[in-house]
């Protein structure tokens, strides 16, 4: 660093220190950010400028600030404005000073603030993206409930397009629920699935096999006519897997398999007996 440039930097640091109060107030006013939030930033920046311009601490604070703002739903411009508005606040002080050193120092500080502004913007975008990905995953989890139909019988109603990511999540969740609830029967209902291709079929088949290895039986229900047609034409064989037209049929089947007898299909009377052998 050349000597005049050094003097310019020193002058900026002096302004940072002597005019801290007005600077912070003005900065807060322009950016709309609370003074308390800016005070730490001001402190870190002052230390960095006075020393070897190591901005690690400043970046750390800005990172926190942009992540917090991304979470709270601030716009990217609002977030970047926090940084860029420091320029205007400092410039007013520099103008009041009016000396060459201060003006040269401002040019230098200005470039630095530009860099920090871009950094803030990038951190904000990255945080925003992460939030969106997290939400998509949550949605994936939420949209695939595994429900307990009866003691020992769980069901997973599949709805919507089954891409491989979703099918995998569903199937893992089903297997986990079998373990957690100690269930021996599972119903996979595909009434809400618009198409079953080889990939979906393979996931279904694998799940049934995995469930069997865990000592549980799967029934696939809700195969609608157009799906049945397509599965047959495609050449997929479900082998000895039990399939039922409706979820109700599948439940009745699973109940009878586990020794629960339903009396009179039209009534809601349920008689339970223990299986003899």
Partner 1 sequence: MSGPQEMPIATNGDVVLVRQKVRSVAAEIGLSLVDQTKIVTAASELARNVLVHAGGGRVEVEKVSTGLRPGLRLVFSDEGPGISDIAQAMTDGFTTGGGLGLGLSGSRRLVDEFDLVSAPGEGTRITVTKWSR
Q: Sketch the per residue contact string, 190 through 229, with partner 1: x for CB under 8 A, - otherwise.
A: ----xxxxxx-xx----------------------xxx-x
172 binding partner 1? (CB under 8 A): no
Measured from the CB of residue 237, what is the shortest distance to ligand ATP in angstroms? 12
- Binding to ligand ATP (CB under 6 A) within 90-119 occurs at none
Binding at 270: pick from partner 1, ligand ATP, none (beta carbon under 5-8 Å per type)? none
Largest CA distance in the chain: 101
Q: Is 183 exposed, middle or buried (0-12, 13-18, 19+ CB in 10 A)?
A: buried
What whole-number distance in Å separates Cα of residue 44 and Cα of residue 255? 68
Measured from the CB of residue 155, what is the shortest distance to partner 1 in angstroms? 24
Question: How many CA atoms, within 13 angstroms, populate the side-chain half-sphere of residue 27?
Answer: 24
Measured from the CB of residue 232, what is the shortest distance to ligand ATP in angstroms? 15
Q: Which is nearer to partner 1, 114 or 197 (CB)?
A: 197
75 binding ligand ATP? (CB under 6 A): no
Measured from the CB of residue 195, what is the shortest distance to partner 1 in angstroms? 5
Binding at 72: pick from ligand ATP, partner 1, none (beta carbon under 5-8 Å per type)? none
Residue number of the CB closest to ligand ATP reads 198
What whole-number distance in Å separates Cα of residue 169 and Cα of residue 165? 6
- Binding to ligand ATP (CB under 6 A) within 178-217 occurs at 198-199
Closest CA to 272 of 260, 263, 257: 260
Choosing from 161, 176, 246, 256, the residue that interacts with partner 1 (CB under 8 A) is 161
Binding at 163: pick from partner 1, ligand ATP, none (beta carbon under 5-8 Å per type)? partner 1
Q: Which is nearer to partner 1, 53 or 195 (CB)?
A: 195
- Annotate 34-58 with b (16+ C-beta within 10 A) or e (fewer): eeeebeebbebbbebbeeeeebeeb
Q: Which is nearer to ligand ATP, 99 or 202 (CB)?
A: 202
Give 143's DSSP letter: T
Give the count of beta carbons closer than 10 Å to the beta carbon of residue 240: 6
# binding residues, ligand ATP (CB under 6 A): 2
Q: Which is nearer to partner 1, 181 or 230 (CB)?
A: 230
Q: Which is nearer to ligand ATP, 54 or 199 (CB)?
A: 199
What whole-number distance in Å separates Cα of residue 165 and Cα of residue 152? 27
Q: Which is nearer to partner 1, 165 or 214 (CB)?
A: 165
User: How far apart, in Å, are the Cα atoms of 75 and each of 30, 34, 41, 124, 225?
Assistant: 16, 17, 20, 9, 49
The H or E element that residue 49 is part of is helix 35-50
What whole-number distance in Å separates Cα of residue 124 and Cα of residue 64? 9
Q: Are 129 and 62 within 8 A, CB to CB?
A: no
- Number of alpha helices (DSSP H) and beta strands (DSSP E) in the chain: 10, 7
The residues of the shown chain that bind ligand ATP, judged by CB under 6 A, are: 198-199
The residues of the shown chain that bind partner 1, judged by CB under 8 A, are: 161, 163-165, 194-199, 201-202, 225-227, 229-230, 233-236
């Amino acid at each position: 660093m050349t000597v005049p440039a050094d003097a310019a930097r020193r002058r900026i640091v002096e302004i940072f220190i002597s005019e801290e109060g007005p600077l912070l107030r003005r900065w807060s006013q322009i950016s709309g950010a609370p003074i308390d939030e800016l005070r730490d930033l001001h402190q870190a920046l002052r230390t960095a400028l006075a020393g070897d311009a190591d901005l690690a601490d400043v970046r750390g604070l800005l990172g926190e600030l942009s992540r917090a703002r991304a979470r709270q739903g601030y716009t990217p411009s609002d977030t970047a404005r926090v940084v860029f508005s420091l320029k205007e606040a400092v410039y007013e002080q520099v103008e009041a000073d009016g000396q060459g050193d201060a003006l040269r120092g401002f040019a230098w500080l200005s470039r630095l603030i530009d860099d920090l502004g871009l950094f803030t913007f990038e951190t904000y975008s990255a945080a925003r993206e992460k939030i969106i990905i997290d939400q998509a995953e949550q949605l994936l989890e939420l949209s695939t409930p595994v429900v307990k139909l009866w003691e020992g019988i769980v069901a997973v109603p599949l709805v919507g397009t089954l891409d491989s990511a979703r099918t995998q999540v569903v199937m893992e969740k089903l297997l986990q629920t079998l373990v957690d609830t100690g269930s021996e029967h599972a119903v996979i209902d595909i009434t809400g699935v618009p198409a079953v291709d080889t990939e979906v079929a393979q996931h279904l088949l694998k799940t049934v096999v995995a469930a069997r290895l865990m000592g549980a039986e799967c029934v696939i229900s809700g195969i609608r006519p157009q799906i049945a047609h397509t599965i047959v034409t495609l050449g997929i064989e479900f082998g000895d897997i039990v399939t039922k037209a409706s979820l109700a049929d599948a439940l009745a089947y699973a109940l009878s398999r586990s020794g629960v007898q339903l009396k009179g299909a039209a009534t809601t009377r349920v008689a339970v007996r223990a299986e003899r052998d």
